[in-house]
Chain A
Amino acid sequence: MDLAELQEIGEKQRTDRPSIRVRCCTAAGCLSSKSDAIKKSLDTAVKEAGLEKEVEVCSVGCMKFCGRGPLVEVDPVGKIYEMVTPENAPSIISAIKGGKATAIELDRNHPFFTRQKPIVLENIGKIDPEQIEEYIGVGGYQQLYQVINDLPPAEVIEEITKSGLRGRGGAGYPTGLKWATVAKMPPGQKYVVCNADEGDPGAFMDRAVLESDPHRVLEGMAIAGYAIGASEGFIYVRAEYPLAIERLETAIKQAKKYGILGSQIFESTFDFKINIRIGAGAFVCGEETALISSIEGGRGNPRPRPPYPAQEGLWGCPTLINNVETFANIAAILREGAEWYASIGTEKSKGTKVFALTGKVNNNGLIEVPMGITLREIVEEMGGGIPGGEVKAVQTGGPSGGCIPASLLDTTVDYESLARVGSMMGSGGMVVMDGATSMVEVARFYMEFCRGETCGKCVPCRAGTVQMYHTLTKLLKGEATETDLERLKAMCDMVKNTSLCGLGQSAPNPVISTLRYFPEEYLSLLKKESLNGKVAVSS
């Protein structure tokens, strides 16, 4: 297949379909609210009205405003309906021909939508994730074709480096540099791994991308494979995401059929095949060395670095590991150019970031915002604030991150600013908390999580998280003394500085950040007699 044929498939896809498309969200969130029944009901209504030639009902991935789901959008009429039920679905079809829809219409000009800058999410909710032709129809796989035919690997890496893209898994390592490191390793067996083990509680960005636009990730991985000289890739997905796994399998099968994946891609000499590996529920497998060990069929135990996976990864071969969102950015960067991408965001954090905005916030769902936006803009404008109250804190970065108090809501969202206030970008979970939330309770919640998820290989993490959990429980029961509090702080230091991998090194973060911003909550929980009337803590 050449470029003309690829474009023809896309063109055919665009012209052959009915002019009006009714899109029904069938991603996990809406699906659990029976959106498959809505799709059926819409289909029936179209048939009954005899509109098959003009109206097409299609199921698409996430339409972002999950909190108001199930969502149905009528295109190009431009209407989005929220909280649709199978009963009021037919009225949406009759509304196309001048009737009145019983479903509530969602305001398209809501800041939740208008403040977004979709790059990773550009196709999400617009295309059918189970049809490769739809992805090709929006220009998909053209970048892969072009790099294979026109761009030497070194130039692909150069372009990614110039774009300033940093790893979206959380740590923010420069992507171009990572690619260059693996590319520089001696030729031979190399691997590309996509980390889709989204374990952060409160985050569902990767899930949404995989369920709604899987081909985008495959294209990014294939481009990476070409750039670093790898012929095989693995996607490590959580078993908790069955729909994502199913859609990825479909996508790989379709791409193979078109000769876009497999051997001699686009009739070139480049081979690239992608395998899916399913996790089995272990948060630590998000850590790259643990993930490698899990792909190899072992326990997800991390190992010390160096050697880094870029040097010695899967089965001892150089391995490139990037997160889902990182791969999802690649095709767009190559299409629009590195300068374009670098013009978005801040000086050190380029581009956009996808967040899962959830918790006690009016509008929850998936957002993609340019770096440099403030937390206040996200929580108060896009999120619409808290129902009947005020924001107390925003938790970012999951168990590896921290709680940012309301007084720091003007902090901009970029890798450095978030780290400065004691949190981190993380993979992109953003949980809003209100006045009713006890921060010590939240710290204990995360410690309970880490305690259960530690792989147990190194002592500081295995024993430290358990001890910290017990101390926090003691505090909450009102049985702790000043000494316990001091010990808790000492343990934070110890676990942070002596653990083997990222899980342990970041496990104390929720405690450290709540101690820093909400010391009074800890103090008020101390046993009264231990205080002796003096303020003991200065954090």
Chain B
Amino acid sequence: MQSTEAKTKPKAAKENSKEHPSGDKRLKVLDITMKRAQYRQDALIEVLHKAQESFGFLEEDVLIYVARKLKLPLSRVYGVATFYHLFSLKPSGAHSCVVCLGTACYVKGSGAVLEALENHTGIHQGETTSDGQMSLMTARCLGACGIAPAVVYDGTVAGRQTADEAIEKVKDWLGNH
């Protein structure tokens, strides 16, 4: 487990070295974030954001690592990680497609876009295709109501989407679907 490895790190390893003692660069990123926050417990959400950014999702080991470092009970870290919608405890697909379900998008037909995507990919919102290629998600509101309905493909917002357009965009991501 990373946390024990961290404790037994060799003295020779400098704080500034690019390598984390465990050999995992992602943990190094996390260490820097926590150090910058002076290991303050109220920095938990910020640290979890960084962890998710580097690891893609919050695996149990990472939660344990963060809990130890910030001297927080694991239950507290787990509680926070599961409370917020943006944190995911499951790995996400290589590509992501987020359909905005805000009111403006909804009255302009984002429900139909989502339904078409669900039918096309065979997965429901919040799920990842079996080949791990694509995750289908929904957002409460992107605040891009002027271009409703909006869909985010791999972090890029696209406005005025139709069901056909959306399927066209995700087609290439899918393996044998």
Chain A contacts to B: CB under 8 angstroms: 28-29, 31-33, 66-67, 69, 198-204, 207, 238-241, 277-283, 294-300, 356, 358-360, 364-366, 395, 398, 429, 431, 433, 437, 442, 445, 449, 453, 455
Contact = CB atoms under 8 A, between A and B. Distances in A.
A246 to B, nearest CB: 14
A280 B48 contact: yes
Contact of B86 (A69, A239, A365, A366): A239
B159 A299 contact: no
B140 interface: yes
B159 A201 contact: no
A207 B49 contact: no
Contacts of B85: 280-282
12 contacts: A28-B143, A28-B144, A29-B147, A201-B104, A202-B103, A240-B143, A280-B86, A295-B42, A300-B84, A360-B108, A395-B103, A449-B140
B79 A433 contact: no
Contacts of A198: 143
B145 A202 contact: yes
B83 A300 contact: yes
A364 B146 contact: yes
A158 B76 CA distance: 43
Interface stretch (B9-17, B89-97, B150-158, B166-174): B150-158
B57 interface: no
Given A33-B159, A296-B42, A297-B45, A282 B84 contact: yes
B112 interface: no
Given A32-B158, A199-B140, A202-B104, A297 B43 contact: yes
A449 B147 CA distance: 21
B6 interface: no
Nearest to B152: A32
Nearest to A64: B146
B48 to A, nearest CB: 7
B46 interface: yes
B146 A69 contact: yes
B86 A281 contact: yes
Contacts of B158: 32
B139 interface: yes
Interface in B93-152: 101-104, 106-108, 139-148, 150
A438 to B, nearest CB: 10
Contacts of B106: 201, 445
Contacts of A28: 142-144, 157
Interface in B19-51: 40-46, 48-49
Nearest to B158: A32
A280 B49 CA distance: 8
Instruction: Give the top 10 A-B pairs by smallest Cβ distance, nearest first.
Output: A66-B146, A280-B84, A202-B103, A32-B157, A201-B102, A281-B85, A297-B42, A204-B143, A358-B104, A201-B141
A431 B107 contact: yes
Q: How large is the interface on B (under 10, 10 to 19, 20 to 34, 35 or more residues)?
A: 35 or more
Nearest to A65: B146
A201 B150 CA distance: 13
Contact of A281 (B40, B41, B101, B140): B140
Interface of B: 40-46, 48-49, 76, 79-80, 83-87, 101-104, 106-108, 139-148, 150, 156-159
A429 B87 contact: no
Contacts of B44: 297-298
B67 to A, nearest CB: 12
Contacts of B139: 240
Contacts of B48: 280
Nearest to B155: A242
Contact of A429 (B43, B103, B150): B103
A360 B107 contact: yes
A207 to B, nearest CB: 4
Contacts of B40: 297
A299 B44 CA distance: 10
Contacts of B148: 358-359, 364
A364 B42 CA distance: 40
B45 A240 contact: no
A32 B42 contact: no
Contacts of A66: 145-147
Contacts of B101: 201
B87 A280 contact: yes
Nearest to A202: B103
Nearest to A453: B140
B107 A433 contact: yes
A98 B73 CA distance: 69
Given A280-B49, A433-B107, A202 B141 contact: yes
B45 A278 contact: yes
Give the most central of B48, B102, B107: most A CB within 10 Å: B107
Contacts of B144: 28-29, 32, 204
Nearest to A198: B143
Nearest to B142: A240
Given A201-B104, A280-B48, A445-B106, A29 B146 contact: yes
Contacts of B79: 298-299
A297 B146 contact: no
Nearest to B85: A281
A398 B103 CA distance: 8
Contacts of A300: 83-84
Given A32-B147, A366-B146, 12 more contacts: A201-B103, A201-B104, A202-B145, A203-B143, A240-B86, A240-B140, A278-B45, A297-B45, A359-B103, A359-B148, A429-B103, A455-B83
